[in-house]
Amino acid sequence: MAQNHVFRAAPQNGKHDGKGTGASGGRNGAEKRQPGRPRSEESRQSILRSTLKLLKQDGGFAELTIEGIAADANVGKTTVYRWWPTKGALVADAFSTGSEDELRFPNTGSVYTDINIQMRGLIRIFRSQRGKIVAALLAGGQSDPELLEAYRDRFLWPRRRQAYETLQRGVDRGELPAGSDFDLILDSLYGPILMRFLIRHVKLEESFADELCSVVLKGLGSRPKV
C-alpha cells in the first residue's frame, strides 16, 4: 500500500490533513490484574514484550515464530493472529511500540533542534542491537510486499506524521518557508541515515545528524536557536 503524495507546508498557522496508517503497541495468567485494564490489553502487551525478547536471541527475525511468541507470552496462537495477520506486522508493531518514546519529536521552539534530537535518537537505535530488527524488516521486505507494508504502516508513517507536524511548527514560526515540500525535506534528512545504516560505506555516528540538519535545514533558512 504505497502512499504517493507530496506533503507541502500549509500557510503559517495552517493545519494539514496528514494521511497514513499506523498502530502503536500484561501477561495473561494467574497474575493479579490492575483495576481498569482489560485482560485483552494485558495479553497484547505481553505478546509485544515476548516478541522483542525473542528477537534478541540467536536466530533473530529469521528464527522467530508465532508459535514461539505465543508460548512465551502464555497465550494461544489465535490470540496473536487476532491483532497481527503476519509475523512481520507483529515485529514492526513491537519495534514501533518499544521505540515510541525515544523517537518522539520534541517541541523545543526550534525546528532545527527538534529534528536534530529525533534524528540522533534514531541513529542510536540503528547502532544498537535493535538496528538488526529494522535491517531484517527492510531486507525481507524486498521480496515480501506485505512485510514492507507492515514496516511502512506500523513504523514509518506514525513517525512521518509527527515529522510533518514538527516541520509545520517551523513554518508557523517563520523558520521555514511556506510551501516547503515536507516529503523532500524528510527524505533529504533521513535518506542518508538509512544509506549509511544499510550500506555501511561510512560509519554511522550521531554527529551525522548535525551535518544533515546544517545542510538541509539551514539551506531552507532555518537556524538553530541558542
Q: What is the pLDDT of residue 218?
A: 87
Predicted local confidence at residue 51, as pLDDT:
94
Q: What is the pLDDT of residue 221?
A: 75
What amino acid is encoded at 157 in this protein? W
**pLDDT at residue 114 in the model:** 98
- pLDDT at residue 25, as a whole number: 37
In CATH terms, the superfamily for domain 39-87 is: Homeodomain-like (1.10.10.60)
pLDDT at 99: 92
d(C-alpha 220, C-alpha 103), whole Å: 24
Q: How far, in Å, CA of 197 to CA of 200, rounded?
A: 6
- pTM for the whole structure: 0.77
- The domain segmentation of the chain, as residue ranges, is 39-87, 99-220
pLDDT score for 59? 78
What integer pLDDT is reported at residue 156 of this predicted model? 94
Looking at the domain that runs over 99-220, which CATH code has it been given?
A: 1.10.357.10
Same fold, 39-87 and 99-220: no
* pLDDT at position 56: 82
| Residue reference for cell 498502530 | 23
Q: Find all residues with CB under 8 Å of 132, minimum gap 6, and list them.
A: 60, 61
In Å, what is the CA distance from 54 to each residue of 79, 96, 133? 18, 16, 11
Question: How many residues in the chain?
Answer: 226
Q: What is the pLDDT along the chain (226 residues), one digit of tens a residue?
A: 444 445 676 655 544 444 433 333 333 444 444 554 566 889 999 999 999 999 888 778 888 999 999 999 999 999 999 999 999 899 999 999 989 999 999 999 999 999 999 999 999 999 998 898 899 889 888 988 988 999 999 999 999 999 999 999 999 999 999 999 999 999 999 999 999 999 999 999 999 999 999 999 988 876 555 5
